[in-house]
Structure 1
Amino acid sequence: MIKIFIFGITGKIGKLIIKLIKINKNFIILGGINKMNLFFFKIKKYKNIFLNMKKNGVLIDFSDSFLIKEILLISIKYKLPLIIGTTGFNLLKLKIIKKASKNIPIIISYNMSIGINLINLIISNINIFLIKFNFDSYIIDIHHNKKKDIPSGTSLMLSSKIKKNNILSLRIKNIIGNHIIYIISNYEIIKIEHFVINRKIFILGILYSIFWILNKKKGCFSMYDVFF
């Protein structure tokens, strides 16, 4: 049985992980903590849980970017694989994550849905032709109005694969996530769109990640590695 500990357990994704993992006999949630209580987090209090997780244990982080140092310390100390779905990391924190991955396996992804990662794969493969035929690209990033990071981590991920692009971010009520890519020349327009209709798609990606990372010793990976 795979043992799970969740940072950000009371958030939208954290609650959904609990709901879906409870009905799966392959997993057991040994504990979790919400991001507010991480300010006062004491490793000693959870020591026995982390020791119990050394075999078939995985840490999952959907908390807040400013807490990543503490989470990495726990992961390294107890040699536990870490799946990071938190967004909003600056370059310094990304370097810290990369450095930590020399000791532990880490999956970091701004979007764990299968569809977005398929789009990421597609645009990675066609980018050379977009340059050759002088296409410009525009990414529209639409999310609910409680989302903190603007632009979204997903739009930045997609943007990194396309030369000559611009991002427009909109925050509109209850939209979970909608990304539209316009690829435009003087003579034609290509439109690629991804719309999330249920957050369960992110949990499916997390489940794939859990099974995949258990066999890894160290390294920094993405959902591209998991899916493809």
Structure 2
Amino acid sequence: MLAVSIHGASGRMGKALVGAVRENDTFKLAAAVASASDSRIGQDVAVIHGFPYLGVPLTANVPETVQKADVVVDFSQPYASLQLLRTCAQQRKPVVVGTTGFSAEAKAEIEEIAQTIPVVLSPNMSVGVNLLFALARIAAEAMPDADAEIIEGHHRHKIDAPSGTALRLGETVAAARGTTLAEAGVLSREGFTGPRAPGSIGFATIRAGEIVGDHTLLLATGTEHFELKHKAFDRKNFAEGALRAALWLPGKPAGLYDMNDVLGISGLNLKLG
């Protein structure tokens, strides 16, 4: 069995991951990590999420939990993720990162760390979403002059916008058109905006209720509209993808990988920084 440590184990994705590990005979839960400020530190991680007792207490001791693991899975916050990655690099442990909201500087540090250990970094571990990325590239290349709009929706608790998945979708469209999201992206609109800029990639964000994750790419011309859409109904979807990455990663050479590599569809998409 593969020993996995979950970093960010007290959150919504933590719950989904604990449940997925319990149902998968390939893995055993070696450790569960949360912020030191979490009032549930010391309690059994399965029990706090409503599962039967597992015997794995929630802890804030990152070095100890990394040492126990064959592979680490991280769904936390950018600052905590960077600390974890540094620890994994010191202990030469592979890590799967699903955290979003990294700055350009943080992404550069992750690339540097990935020169010493294998890292899977993906804003979305869903198989369907990664197929969405691949199909988005094909569509953007086929309709280079269409207006591109990305509409995403998540639960009211999400703290970053647009979502990491929406930004990745925008990066995919931009790269397919020979530009960058920094140049073409319009992340919000308000007031008197004037006509739409040619080649721009617009974003619209919804935060409401308990939406797990909705993403739509709209390509519109004067004569037709083309949509690619993905809806997630259960975080188990993301957890299963993360465990698929965790099973694939150990033994791989040091490097920065994404879910296209895990799924074997990297030839269908662009490698994005």
Task: Give 1:61's aligned amino acid.
Answer: D
CA contact (8 A) 1:76 1:100 kept: yes
User: Counterpart in 1 of 2:250?
Assistant: 214
Fraction of identical pairs, as percent = 27
Task: Give 2:204's aligned amino acid.
Answer: L
Structure 1 pair 30–184 and aligned structure 2 pair: CA distance change class (3 A)? same
Instruction: Confirm or deny that 1:176 pairs with 2:212.
Output: yes
Query: Residue 88 of structure 2: which of 72, 75, 80 is its match?
Result: 75
- Tell me by how many angstroms 1:127 deviates: 2.2
Report the secondary structure of 1:161's partner residue: helix
Task: Give 1:117's aligned amino acid.
Answer: N
Query: Residue 190 of structure 1: which of 220, 226, 249 is its match?
Result: 226
CA–CA distance in 2 between the matches of 1:174 and 1:43?
30
Unaligned residue ranges in structure 2 (runs of 5+): 39-58, 175-199, 266-273
Structure 1 pair 189–103 and aligned structure 2 pair: CA distance change class (3 A)? same
CA contact (8 A) 1:35 1:63 kept: no
Report the secondary structure of 2:110's partner residue: helix
Q: State the TM-score, normalizing by the size of structure 1.
A: 0.90
- Tell me by how many angstroms 1:42 deviates: 4.8
- Tell me by how many angstroms 1:30 deviates: 1.1
CA–CA distance in 1 between the matches of 2:258 and 2:139?
20
Task: Give 2:164's aligned amino acid.
Answer: G
Structure 1 pair 32–74 and aligned structure 2 pair: CA distance change class (3 A)? same
Aligned CA RMSD, in angstroms, stands at: 1.7
Q: State the TM-score, normalizing by the size of structure 2.
A: 0.76
What whole-Å deviation, never above 9, does each CA across 1:87-138 have from its counterpart, x for those lacking one?
A: 110100000000000000000111111111111001112322221xx11110
Query: Residue 159 of structure 1: which of 165, 170, 177 is its match?
Result: 170
What whole-Å deviation, never above 9, does each CA across 1:35-62 have from its counterpart, x for those lacking one?
A: 3459x95556x1xx54443xxx001111
Task: Give 2:206's aligned amino acid.
Answer: L
Alignment of 1:57-136 (within 5 A): 57-131=70-144, 134-136=145-147
Q: How many residues align?
A: 219
User: Counterpart in 2 of 1:6?
Assistant: 6
CA–CA distance in 1 between the matches of 2:213 and 2:60?
31
Instruction: Confirm or deny that 1:147 pairs with 2:183.
Output: no
- Tell me by how many angstroms 1:9 deviates: 0.7
Unaligned residue ranges in structure 1 (runs of 5+): none
CA contact (8 A) 1:117 1:224 kept: yes
CA–CA distance in 2 between the matches of 1:169 and 1:36?
32
CA–CA distance in 2 between the matches of 1:22 and 1:78?
26
CA–CA distance in 2 between the matches of 1:218 and 1:169?
36
User: Counterpart in 2 of 1:27?
Assistant: 27
Instruction: Confirm or deny that 1:138 pairs with 2:154.
Output: no
User: Counterpart in 1 of 2:17?
Assistant: 17
CA contact (8 A) 1:7 1:35 kept: no
CA–CA distance in 1 between the matches of 2:61 and 2:29?
19
CA–CA distance in 1 between the matches of 2:211 and 2:60?
33
CA contact (8 A) 1:35 1:64 kept: no
Structure 1 pair 205–98 and aligned structure 2 pair: CA distance change class (3 A)? same
CA contact (8 A) 2:5 2:68 kept: no
CA contact (8 A) 2:66 2:72 kept: no
Task: Give 2:88's aligned amino acid.
Answer: S
Query: Residue 238 of structure 2: which of 202, 205, 225 is its match?
Result: 202
